[in-house]
Each structure stands twice: as structure tokens, then as C-alpha cells.
Structure 1
Amino acid sequence: MKKFLFTTVALVALGATVPALAADLSARSPVYTKAPAYAAPLYNWTGFYIGGHLGGVFSSDSNFGGLTTGNNGNGRFLGGLQGGADYQFAPNWVVGAEAEYSWTAGNNGSVIFPGGQTYTNNQRGLGSVTGRLGYTWGPGLLYVKGGYAFADNNESLVNGAGAPLAFGFSGDHSNGYTIGAGLEYMLTQNWSAKIEYQYYNFGSSSFTAPAALVPFGSFRTDDHVVKAGINYRFNWGGPVVAKY
């Protein structure tokens, strides 16, 4: 009986002590919590986009051996639309394709020949379909581009009295190539802004008719364009995990 009473008292005392010790240890032990992982901003250039641009176009003054021109070489206002698609890989490289059209204000130039004939090229617009390759560091994208270009030309030839004359050229000076470079910056997940230089070359042409203008040689049609634009992006590639 004494052993039973002693054992009972010991168990009761131990049962009372263990919770107290556990509470004391909990109070003294520091609480460790895992710090949240750092989530760096993710910029994804993969997807389709559409946008608009404004700028200026400057045409080279290269007409028929340096004859007097109307406004060739002067700056003209330019504005238009663009659309394309990009794909980000590797992960800091971006490859894409873009189509754009720009409306231009004013004539590209006019030439007055010694016989009184006046040739005018009203270049109403410039277009291009290009590929582009760029390097990105997060929100920034530095790129080069190049491809096919076309010019929307409205041409005329009149005599000294202003009557229209029939004429022909050795080249169409409406189809050519373009190269350029630019910097684009992602403002938000869906909006980006860019500044860009683009060179257009449509080759050289010379008169095949009328016969009186054939000896005057050829002229070259090329344009230099500087523009700023904004794009809305329909991103579909998901987050791009990259170390910049």
C-alpha cells in the first residue's frame, strides 16, 4: 500500500511539472519564421502589339544631276500606325516582326527642267515590313530592324503651261528596303514607348520618256525618318524568369 501511494504521488507531481517546464521552454525559445522570397519585377516582351507613332521625314536632295528642286531635303511631318509580334528567349534576347505605315505631309520634291517641264513626286506615305532583333535588360529593349519598304507615290509631269505630259521611268522607285534601330521601354505590363530611326532606300530611276528628259540622268529616292511611338502589348508568353 505504501509503495502504491508513493508511486501515485510521484506521478501526480511529475504530471504537474511537465506542463510548467514546456511552457517555460516555449517562452524562452525564439520563434523562427521563413522570410518571404524576394520577387523581382518580371518584364515579358513575348506577345503581339499595336500602336502609333509621330515624327519627321527628311529626303535626300539627289535629283537629275543637281537640278533645282522644290522642297526635296526639307523636313515633313509624319504619323502612322504599327503592329507586330515579339518573342523573348535565352532569356535576354528578343526577336520579332513588324509592319507599319506612315502618312507624310507635303510633296517629296519637284524638279524644273530647262525646257520648262516640271516633275513632281508627291510621296503620300511610307510603309515597311521588317524583322527585328533586340537585347533587353528588364524594361529596356535596344534593337535593330530591317526588311522590305514601299512608298505611296503620286507623280506628275507638266509642261510650262501646266498641261500634263506622259512620262516613263526605268525604275518604279516605290519598292525598296529599310534598315533602322531604336530603343523601346516598357512603362507598364501592357504599355511601352519607343524612339526610332529608320532609313528607306527606293533606288535610282531615270526618264525613258519623254525623249527630251532622257539626257538629264537619274535621281535617287531615299528618306530618313525619326519618330517616337507607343505600343499596347497583348502579352501571352507568361512570366519570363531572368537575371538582369
Structure 2
Amino acid sequence: MPFDAAGLPAGVYPKAAVVTSPFYDWRSGFYFGINGGGGFARKCWELVTDAFADLPGSEGCHNPSGDTLGGQVGYRWRSANWVFGVEGQGNWANFSGSNISLLFAPDSNRTRVDAFGLITGQIGYAWNNILLYVKGGAAVTRDSYHAVSGATGLVLASASETRWGGTVGAGLEFGFAPNWSLGVEYNHLFTGTRNVNFTDPTGAFFQTETINQGVDLALARLNYRFGEWGAPVTGRY
């Protein structure tokens, strides 16, 4: 039987190697991670009453903005290409801003969002190592307020509150190793309208303001994932 230069029988050729695409396993399990990014709020103040019997009215609006850093922990489970999850998230924030009062110019109104938290459910669809999801649930913010003298720069009155509401959002996550994923996420927080009581530096009543708020967040996220019941993930990716 004649042989070719490769030592194979003439007319017989080696089979081409079968190349398989990598597969990321979004298996059920716990995960935790960190996140960071930025956000802004929308704050409008309206005077209800004050210690000086001034007439009520709108004081104007401003958009506190800034940076945020925090963490998240959650659990996901998969059914075919669908991925479901629950998650808790807590963040420090520094969203600050101000405007000149429309009623008491040149005095100004200042707002800072100091922190926020989210408790959400998720539903997503996975294509290999790409996960697209939507989320929704409860939100809470910690806010502080200051009425500032335009003449001296001193704080005339201040207040703080913890405000509960709801949130909706969406995200895109990319699995780059068996246990690791990177993602980006957007959330909008609906925290409604509240009456907030201000006190002066002595603790005496100063004014009541009706303040509404909405918050928008853009975050980058890094997650480390365990297998079901905390076992490390060992599948291919």
C-alpha cells in the first residue's frame, strides 16, 4: 500500500480538529461583589410653614450629583436560559447640590444624598457568558438638608431623613472566568414626596418643607460567584 509523506495511506487524510466554543455556566448559587459609579437626584423644595409666618410657595429645584461606592450580595438560580435572582445592595453616596431660594434669595437650599440601599428581585436571559436582566423592588435613601444664609454662608436650619420608596433597573453582565463577572447597571429610585421639619442650630423649629425626590444611578459591578449552597464554581467558561 503506498504511503504519503505524512506516513498515512495514500488518499487518507487526518480529521480536522473540532473546535468547541466556551460555555459559561450561570449555575444556581450565591454571589457577592462591589460596585461604584455615579448618580444624581432631583430635589424640589416647597415651603409649607415657618417660624416667621412667611407665605408658602415654591423655593425651586436642584440636582444633587456625585459619586457612590458600595457592595451587593445575592442568590441566582437558572432554568434553561432564564436566570432569576434576589439581591441586597448598600452604598455610600455623595450626591450634593443647591439652588438659590425663589422665596428667600440670596439664601440657598442644599441637599446631600448620603447613602442608599436596594432590595430587589431579578429576571434575566443568558447567552453563553452574557446575561441581560431587569430588576425591581424596594429602595431607601439617607438624605440631609441645609438652609444657608446667602449673606454669611452660615447654616440657618438643617434636617435629615431616611426615605423609603421603590426602584426599577436593568443590567448587562459578562462572565470572564468561572467565578467572576463584570457588569454595568442602571437604576431609577422613586422616593416620592415628604414633609421635612427643619430646626435651627439651637434645636428650635424653623420651617417645614415639602420635598420630592427621584434618583438615577449608573454603576459598574464586579461579582464573585459560588456554586449552590456556597460550593466554588468549577464549570467551564
Question: What is the TM-score with the length of structure 1 in the denominator?
Answer: 0.67
Q: Which of the numbers 116, 140, 143 marks the counterpart of 1:150?
A: 140
Mapped contact 2:170–2:187 kept (Cα < 8 A): yes
- CA shift for structure 1 position 74: 4.7
SS in structure 2 of the partner of residue 104 of structure 1:
strand
Within the alignment, does 1:77 sit opposite 2:59 as a pair?
no
- CA shift for structure 1 position 227: 1.1
Equivalences for residues 151-230 of structure 1 within 5 A? 151-156=141-146, 162=154, 165=157, 174-207=163-196, 213=207, 218-230=210-222
What is aligned with 2:4?
none
Equivalences for residues 101-116 of structure 1 within 5 A? 101-107=90-96, 109=98, 112=101, 114-115=103-104
What is aligned with 2:89?
100
Q: Distance in 2 between matches of 1:226 and 1:166?
A: 29
Structure 2 gaps, min length 5: 1-8, 47-56, 200-204
AA of the residue aligned to 2:44: S
Q: Distance in 1 between matches of 2:44 and 2:72?
A: 29
Q: Distance in 2 between matches of 1:154 and 1:59?
A: 13
Q: Please provide the CA RMSD for this pair.
A: 3.8
AA of the residue aligned to 2:186: Y
- CA shift for structure 1 position 99: 0.9
SS in structure 2 of the partner of residue 149 of structure 1:
strand
Q: Distance in 2 between matches of 1:166 and 1:125?
A: 17
Identity value in percent: 28
- CA shift for structure 1 position 180: 0.2
Mapped contact 1:177–1:201 kept (Cα < 8 A): yes
Note the alpha carbon deviations across 1:57-84, whole angstroms, 9 max, x for none: 1112433265345xx3153111111111
Higher strand share: 2
Seen in structure 2, the aligned counterparts of structure 1 residues 111 and 178 have a Cα distance that, compared at 3 Å, is farther
Mapped contact 1:58–1:73 kept (Cα < 8 A): yes
Higher helix share: 1
Aligned length: 205
Seen in structure 2, the aligned counterparts of structure 1 residues 132 and 121 have a Cα distance that, compared at 3 Å, is same
Q: Which of the numbers 223, 226, 236 marks the counterpart of 1:231?
A: 223
Seen in structure 2, the aligned counterparts of structure 1 residues 146 and 48 have a Cα distance that, compared at 3 Å, is same
